[in-house]
Structure 1
């Protein structure tokens, strides 16, 4: 399977879109891959595939088979590894949004969007031909340009200032404490909870836990970093607690994952395996 990551060129759009991810698979050989919890949100669009997505109660699983029309799903805010099984050829476009950035394009309910099999149409209902136009373009870089133009035309930028302020505090000051965050923002914890749920689709505690995991994962993949050093760098002062938390989110212990994981273009961190059905 060919996978290509392309980052937006438009300076305004960079605030909202982390990157575009293109998957192309031309054979029917079975392929499976696993990705890990992240704070971003992925809008995945499929040309001719049927997608079965099961999420909740310890399951985060996607099964992709042959279809006959466009479909699209929203994935993200995973509290557990995301497993994907592909049984057929695939032509897939992913728009990977930065935290809270989906709100710059739609005010639709996260719960409704997560249940929909046609999320793209729910978010962008006015242009019925845009997906055909995008998938007719075979060059991924030209596809990305088409997507950029379309997203810029549909940008609403109605993200509340408080959520931007919260994310800046978290990213620049490494604020990982709910009390400190709500105090600095001068809002109650209940208001902070509603703000995160409405704008990011997850509560602040879950967001911070996922962000901490991604920092740990990135540090583990750096050459020469010991488990002890990574634990302390990320404010884990109990090795057993560190290993337990990591294994819940990754499905593997910190020691084992470095032998299995691959990194594509410094952005896509995954485990990809070919097997027979």
Structure 2
């Protein structure tokens, strides 16, 4: 069973959701998740069966312990069979940095242990989550852990302004504009992105354009590849197809109309397998968000 919970309100700018996968008593689970490139990170507490992490077009690694699957520029496939129990944390784009004092670039493309990223206290959190079957209680533990580690400073605020401008421009905003918005120099913008996201702005722009094209392609089966490429800001269709192969491991026509109409509007590609199975994907979002300005 796959369930989601929203984090506490102060964390929602940085953490998209907490996600839980579990098996019924006596049940073996066959889990297969396609994770396209989106430059986001997932913290994975894995409590039972090990899983295989397949880099599409690359190597295979076996994971029997918890880890941070950090921001990547390669698509991966997760395969897991047996008694599956996972507690996961899905970070927004650029959402990992406020919780760790290390430049996020140090983890790009890696799967470090949680304690290497968040400190030794993570071991106690993992023990508590392992012993707690209740999702609401697990969500509260995660809220307390991340609220205690949320650190915001001027550099983070400048990075967030620059990233917001890049996202608003669908990945096409020049570094000069990002620097103006963040009241920084172009060189400082490069450093801010290394600290806060692990990749330079131009690379993040490529990922954003790919994601935009992917969403349109999946949601509109009648759109042409040329139209998708133009709308996403690609120089031509050939550049679009090249980036699509790099970031998804497939070709665009294989994903035409693939995304279901009932999927969330802010769809993140790595949940495609789940949201297509209505019996599997159930959402538990916890308390409703408090309107801005209220407590």
TM-score of the alignment, normalized to the shorter chain, above 0.5: yes
Quickly name the TM-score band, shorter chain normalised: 0.7 to 0.9
Deviates more, 1:44-53 or 1:86-95: 44-53
Q: Is the 8 A contact 2:190 2:200 kept in 1?
A: yes
Counterpart position of 1:154: 149
Counterpart position of 1:18: 16
The total of aligned residue pairs comes to 265
1:137-152 superposed matches below 5 A: 137-152=132-147
Runs of 5+ consecutive residues of structure 2 not aligned to the other structure: 275-295
1:205-220 superposed matches below 5 A: 205-220=202-217
Label 1:182 to 1:112 Cα distance change in 2 as closer, same or farther (>3 A): closer
Per-residue deviation, residues 223-248 of structure 1 (Å, max 9, x unmatched) = 35503332221113522222222122
Label 1:157 to 1:37 Cα distance change in 2 as closer, same or farther (>3 A): same
Q: Secondary structure at the match of 1:215?
A: helix
Bigger proportion of residues as strand: 1
Q: Secondary structure at the match of 2:228?
A: helix
Counterpart position of 2:161: 165
Per-residue deviation, residues 22-72 of structure 1 (Å, max 9, x unmatched) = 12246456543321011321111111455676779x5365534xx5xxx32
Say what the alpha-carbon RMSD is for the aligned residues: 3.2
CA distance in 2 between counterparts of 1:61 and 1:108 reads 27
TM value normalised by structure 2: 0.75
Per-residue deviation, residues 82-108 of structure 1 (Å, max 9, x unmatched) = 111224322111111122222211112
1:1-277 superposed matches below 5 A: 2-8=1-7, 10-25=8-23, 27-28=27-28, 31-50=31-50, 59=58, 61-64=60-63, 67=64, 71-110=65-104, 111=106, 117-120=112-115, 122-126=117-121, 128-158=123-153, 160-174=156-170, 176-184=172-180, 185=182, 187-223=184-220, 225-227=222-224, 228-258=226-256, 266=264, 267=267, 268-271=270-273
